[in-house]
Amino acid sequence: MALRTIRLYDDPILRKICREVNVVDEKIKLILDDMADTLYHTDNSAALAAPQIGILKRLVVIDFGEGLIELINPVIVETQGLQEVTEGCLSIPDKWGKLNRPHFVRVSAQNRHGETFEIKGEGFLAKCLCHEIDHLEGILFIDKVTKFID
């Protein structure tokens, strides 16, 4: 495993749409391992999407203290409710804002064995899932902010 450099907001890769992973091979597993390693060695981090380390693949890792979640080709298949959240981003250091996210999401994805599964998230997990899946579409949280926080 290796620590990867987190790309910052002015890097054009963060605005690109990521490619679907067609085969979950050792290379993809290594990227997931590197993403997790980078996540765990970065202050104030809960999640990371592949474009944030310069890789245009549909990969996400999340861990906010309840264990690592790895998502390959995640797709939001259901949303419910609305919540106002405060967000920041590792790629946009020292910038925070308020925005609206679904209160509940259901996401379909693959695991590191290529098996399809669903994950449901409410509150903070729903926010993380939406934020990271937005990254895969080249969308940053600042695009959705209703109010920046100083």
Q: For residue 129, what are its two tokens?
A: 């899932």
Asked whether residue 131 is marked as a ligand-binding residue, the answer is yes
Asked whether residue 18 is marked as a ligand-binding residue, the answer is no
Unique residue bearing structure tokens 């993380």 = 128
CA distances from 45 to 91, 117, 146 (A): 11, 24, 22
Q: What does the buried/exposed string (b/e) look like for 119-140 if buried means 16 or more CB atoms within 10 Å of the residue's CB? A: eebeeebbbbbbbbbbbbebbb
User: φ and ψ at 64, to 5 degrees?
Assistant: -115, 35
Give the Cα separation of 12 and 144 in Å (integer). Answer: 18
Asked whether residue 135 is marked as a ligand-binding residue, the answer is yes
Q: Which residues are catalytic?
A: 132
Binding residues for Fe cation: 89, 131, 135
Binding residues: 89, 131, 135
